[in-house]
Structures are given as C-alpha cells and as structure tokens.
Amino acid sequence: MLVIHNPDHARHAGRQEMFRGRLVPCHEVPARLDHVLAELQRRRFGRLEAAAPDAGLDALLARIHAPRYLRFLERAWDDWVALDPANAALDALPSVWPVRGFRADVEPDNFAARLGLYSFDAGTPLMAGSWRAARSGALTAAQAARAVASGKESSAFALTRPPGHHAGADFFGGYCFLNNAALAAQALREGGAARVAVLDVDYHHGNGTQSIFYERADVLTISIHGDPRTEYPFYLGHADERGAGAGEGCNLNLPLPRGTGFERWLEALDAAITAVRAFRADALVVPLGLDTFEGDPISGFRLKSAAYLRVGARLASLALPTVFCFEGGYAVAEVGVNAVNVLEGFESA
C-alpha cells in the first residue's frame, strides 16, 4: 500500500483548547502521526512517500471549500497578530459566533469576529503553522486519491494531520481546517469514478463531510459514530438525515450509544458496507478515526486493538479502489498500532 505523509504536519501544534469552561492541553498533537509513522516503519508496512508540490491543489480546494474561507485561513495568523502584537505568543481561539438569526453573509472587518464566523467550537486552536500544515495535509489526501484514481495503486493511506472530517465548505472545528476525505472523494470523481462512497469510522460524526456532499448524488456519505444527542459534535449525525435535493438518500448515519462494544459496532459496519454495495460505488474513501478504541480519552466505544484487523478485512471485502485518510485517535501511544492494524487487515484479506 502506498503511504503518503505530510512533512509539514508538526507546524500545527496547538497548546490549549477550551473544554467545559477550562483551557486544557490539546488532545490533537503531532505525536499522533509520529506514532503511526513509527509503527509503519517497525512493521515495514507500505511504501512511504512525502507529499510533493502540486499545481492543481488550489483548484481542487476551491471545489470543496468556499473561496472566502480559504482566504481567511491563509491570512488568519497574520491578521491575528495584527489585531495585537502580543497575540504572536498565543494560539487563536474564537470567543464569539453568529448564532441563529445573526448574519453570516457579511464578513466582519474585526478579526476576532471573522474567527468566530468561520468556526463552530473553541477547541480548535489556530497558530502560525496551521495553514501550511492543513494545506500540505490536503495535498497528501489529493495525491493519495490521484494515485488510486490513475490505477497505479489499488489503495493508499493519506497519513496527515491536522485531521479533516469536521471541516465544512466554510467552517473549521473539531481540530479540522480542510476536509481531507472530501478532497480525496472529489479527486477520485475527477479521476474517473462516477460514484464515490465515503465511509467514516471515526467515533465523532463527520459533520463537515456530510454538509459538503449533502445535496450531491455522486457521493454517498456514511458515518458510524457516537449518538449526537450526547456526543460531539452534537448538531448533526442523526439517523433521519438522509440527504436533500439531488442527494436525497445519499447520506446514511449510524449513531450508536456510548459504551458500544465491537460486535454491535461491527453490525453497523456491515450495514454501511451493504449501503456502499447498493450505491454501486466505483471507489471508497475511509476517514480513518481510531478513537473508537477502548482507551481513548475523549470517546466512548470499546474496540480493542485486535478488532482493527477485522475492521480492515471487512473494508477490503468491498474490493474497491480505496483511500484511507487519517482522522481521530487520542490514545496517542496506541494509535499507531491501531491504525496499522486496519491497514494490515485490509491488505491481508
């Protein structure tokens, strides 16, 4: 399996996030990727490449994300420091948001207001290297997808951070700025796949991916996740969200209660696989979150490390060109083993 990694990922290294009224150390840290990379090397798994410059990335980004949002991200750090030079020593976190009934069509001049306009939580710090890391991460996903779309590879793993599946067309949150899985799906479409399925196995609902494709019939979005009545990101992910307009019937949410064990989770995965087959997908994108692990500090399912081998084998049963995109997983010491178990199970099936 081809593994493309993001050489700029460590430029994004948040110091603090807001959690239940307190600033706490960030759970999403550079060591997450480092542990996966080390496990890949320890097992001698995959062919490792670093993402390379690609002149086509900006056009791909513009097909998934709103132009004014991309401009905001590119300039955000400089605008944050311009607001107050002392901000250079701080991460940027939003403190005000345009809730229901407020206007979002007019971009404010004040940076603090713009920061809130484009975010949905106060847990996603932005710093000097965030844009470069996120852009290189998007490049990683795009190159993995293009390698698969070309037929040169049957599968590829985009090993990148920051993660992406919570980022929408014009918003960030959940540690995500650019939606790597959505970009991979779009690259597969442009590479010749008439229908693409995105099967998200992260503990947290892929709200950004759902919102990007919700009215499209060419991309099926599926998410197996913690019930949004109790679990972050809360406001999307219910089972009755089926798509709209041309995309009616092209979104499937499979929410499960906190405490769900592997066998019940596997039933949901089998239902998702059945839906992918019914959709007659030509290619598959898997936002690979490992926060379903029993030891994850911010999640609530009970999968053990050995279970991920079976997850990979189940995904392989679809026999589709497949792109994996690294997402969540905050039991940092175990995330490498769990990620490579999925990939090894997939390759060995």
Catalytic residue set: 166
CA distance 252 to 254: 7
CA distance 320 to 284: 6
4: pLDDT confidence band, cut at 50, 70 and 90?
very high
Question: What pLDDT sits at residue 28?
Answer: 97
Question: What pLDDT sits at residue 216?
Answer: 98
Percent of the chain with pLDDT strictly greater than 90: 98
pLDDT in tens, 112-168: 999 999 999 999 999 999 999 999 999 999 999 999 999 999 999 999 999 999 999
**pLDDT (mean) for 298-310:** 98
pLDDT in tens, 223-276: 999 999 999 999 999 999 999 999 999 999 999 999 999 999 999 999 999 999
pLDDT at 77 over 90: yes
Give me the sign of the Cα torsion angle 100, 101, 103, 109: negative
CA distance 344 to 346: 5
Q: Can you name the residues that pair with 158 across neighbouring β-strands?
A: 4, 325
pLDDT in tens, 45-73: 999 999 998 879 999 999 999 999 999 99
Least confident of 16-20, 119-123, 308-312: 16-20
288: Cα separation from own chain's centroid: 8
CA dihedral 226, 214, 246, 255 (to 10 degrees): 0
Question: What pLDDT sits at residue 130?
Answer: 98
Q: Cβ(301)–Cβ(1) under 8 Å?
A: no
Question: What pLDDT sits at residue 6?
Answer: 95
List, as one string, the DSSP characters of 245-280: GGGTT-EEEEEE-TT--HHHHHHHHHHHHHHHHHHT
pLDDT at 21 over 90: no
Question: What pLDDT sits at residue 55?
Answer: 79
Query: Using only C-alpha atoms, what is the Rg of the chain?
Result: 19
pTM beyond 0.85, yes or no: yes
Question: What pLDDT sits at residue 20?
Answer: 86
Question: What pLDDT sits at residue 53?
Answer: 86
pLDDT at 91 over 90: yes
State the pairing for strand pair 22-25/16-19.
antiparallel
State the pairing for strand pair 219-226/47-50.
unpaired
- Mean pLDDT over all residues of the chain? 97
What the block records as the tokens of 309 is 């081998």
Residue 222's contacts (CB-CB under 8 Å, 6 or more residues apart) are 197, 198, 199, 200, 251, 252, 253, 254, 272, 275, 276
CA distance 188 to 183: 9
Element holding 50 (H helix, E strand): strand 47-50
What the block records as the tokens of 235 is 């406001």
Element holding 143 (H helix, E strand): helix 130-149
The structure tokens 């944050």 sit at: 80
What the block records as the tokens of 170 is 């014009």
Question: What pLDDT sits at residue 326?
Answer: 98
